[in-house]
Amino acid sequence: MTDSRKRACFWPIASADCTLHRLGLALCLVALVTCGKSVESPTVAQLPKVAVAWQRPAVIDFHAHLSLDGVDRVRQIMADNGIELMINLSGGSGRRGGQSWYLAKALSDQLGGKILNFASPDWRDFGEPQWAAREAAALEQAVVQFGFRGVKISKGLGLGHTDERDQLVAVDDIRLDPLWQKAAQLGIAVCIHVADPRAFWWPLTEKNERWDELGVHPYWAYGPVSAEVLATFPPQAQELVNQRTAVPSWPQLLQSAERLYRRNPKTTFVAVHFGNAAEDLAYVDGLLLRNSNLSIDIAARVGEFGRHPADAVKAFFEKWQDRIVFGTDIGIGGDYLMLGSNGEIEPELKDVKPFYDAHWQYLQTAARQIAHPSPIQGRWKVDAIGLSAAVLDKLYRRNALRLLDRAVLVERANKAPPAQAMPSTPPPADPTPAWALPPAAKSTPPGH
């Protein structure tokens, strides 16, 4: 091995020059091969402060939204960022003859199977007697005929989908049980998004910590909005805000989700966005403790759980090292990109690598006060947690592989204990911040 090859192995990822960076990566791989070490999977160059003895394995991004017209960009983004496999949670439902399933399968086929698709129910006619049987059969078709590997439930469950009486469908609605049972029988996981960031229930004002996001999409907010603030939005946005209907509170939605996990112990759930409660580390800890059929992903929440003390977050990742998967909530289409969330200005391709790099930096280094991957989700900095190589290996790929392995999930379902009622557990903290309470109530302790 020449000296120049040795140096190339440790090319810092912070290099702004992509061409040089790729060259460094290529030389690194050549050097490893010529050293006689086996290279099982593509790697990417190291971040500063990462132990040079460890190479990040090829990563599985468990939370992506992809469309066929973006196939070339997906291929490029995966290659540039060392992503071996992406889970496309936007495989869609069986409506229109399964049109979206054909497109999702074509995307996977064109990328040599490096995309695995998840299917979603078709919510039309929910509440009609045949709905559950129809959707359970559709799910089986998606798995058997189209090679789908899981179910994705969007936040529309609990916040938007309605039944035959025009009532919101609860997250733990018993009429959905045949779907969860079918998922367990097929040995596939259910990725479920419940609720939204807690601040979306707070008053919609410039004081709201998610104002950068909600100010652009005010109709995402569920909290009260004054006429004064409303008047500052474009007419179309005002109309959408006025069309909002009442939804359950943040704690109510989370409690409903837990009743669902408990009643279906044979079904493996992945509660996306850090258990849908990145704001409350202790709550997610209890949730994982109480529900052995539950895993979580970290998609689009690094900024949120990164606000907790780094030591506490690191301890959490170590404690739950077998139950957390890496995901980003990246969205890629032919002319569409989303990096965790979107604001007024759509990101460009050049923004994707810094987005992934911000994840590596947070998870792998001990850096202090760094930008989190989606700054539009909050104007604060986070302290990185420097996980060990063993924990990172599980987070980046091993846990995902287990969740995608049908035999493993079927075996888990067969061993699952019978369903239990939910024990009385403390609800998540009161979602209303002190600044939003009327003056007399400002001294009310949290949790009441």
First to last CA, the chain: 65
Closer residue to Zn ion, CB minimum distance, 359 or 412? 359
Q: Is 223 exposed, middle or buried (0-12, 13-18, 19+ CB in 10 A)?
A: middle
User: In a 3-state reduction of DSSP, which class is residue 191?
Assistant: strand
Token pair of 382, please? 């986070």
Name the segment binding Zn ion (CB under 5 A); options: 35-43, 236-244, 323-331, 367-375: 323-331
Q: How many residues bind Zn ion (CB under 5 A)?
A: 1
Distant-in-sequence, close-in-space partners of 103: CB < 8 Å, separation ≥ 6: 67, 68, 92
Closer residue to Zn ion, CB minimum distance, 91 or 265? 91
Name the segment binding Zn ion (CB under 5 A); options: 78-86, 321-329, 371-379, 413-421: 321-329
Contact status, residue 135 vs residue 120, Cβ threshold 8 Å: no
Closer residue to Zn ion, CB minimum distance, 61 or 280? 61
Name the segment binding Zn ion (CB under 5 A); options: 154-162, 329-337, 408-416, 423-431: 329-337
- Of the candidates 329, 385, 394, 395, which one interacts with Zn ion according to CB under 5 A? 329
Closer residue to Zn ion, CB minimum distance, 28 or 87? 87
- State the pairing for strand pair 189-192/269-271: parallel
For residues 285 and 213, what is the distance between their CA atoms, to the nearest angstrom? 27
Of 318, 319, 268, give the one whose Cα is nearest residue 294: 268
Name the segment binding Zn ion (CB under 5 A); options: 94-102, 138-146, 328-336, 384-392: 328-336
Least distance from C-beta 298 to Zn ion, angstroms? 12
Contact status, residue 105 vs residue 147, Cβ threshold 8 Å: yes
Sign of the Cα torsion 105, 192, 225, 239 reads positive
Closer residue to Zn ion, CB minimum distance, 329 or 383? 329
Least distance from C-beta 273 to Zn ion, angstroms? 8
Least distance from C-beta 425 to Zn ion, angstroms? 27
Least distance from C-beta 85 to Zn ion, angstroms? 17
Closer residue to Zn ion, CB minimum distance, 103 or 338? 338
Name the segment binding Zn ion (CB under 5 A); options: 101-109, 138-146, 324-332, 365-373: 324-332
Q: What is the DSSP string of 416-440?
A: PPPP-PPPP-PPPPPS--GGGS-GG
For residues 100 and 122, what is the distance between their CA atoms, to the nearest angstrom? 12
Least distance from C-beta 61 to Zn ion, angstroms? 11
DSSP letter assigned to residue 152: E
Least distance from C-beta 63 to Zn ion, angstroms? 6
For residues 224 and 240, what is the distance between their CA atoms, to the nearest angstrom? 14
For residues 292 and 265, what is the distance between their CA atoms, to the nearest angstrom? 8
Least distance from C-beta 194 to Zn ion, angstroms? 12
User: In a 3-state reduction of DSSP, which class is residue 87?
Assistant: strand
Least distance from C-beta 161 to Zn ion, angstroms? 17
Closer residue to Zn ion, CB minimum distance, 108 or 374? 374
Least distance from C-beta 327 to Zn ion, angstroms? 8
The answer to the question of residue 61 lying near Zn ion (CB under 5 A) is no
* Residues at the contact surface with Zn ion, assessed by CB under 5 A: 329
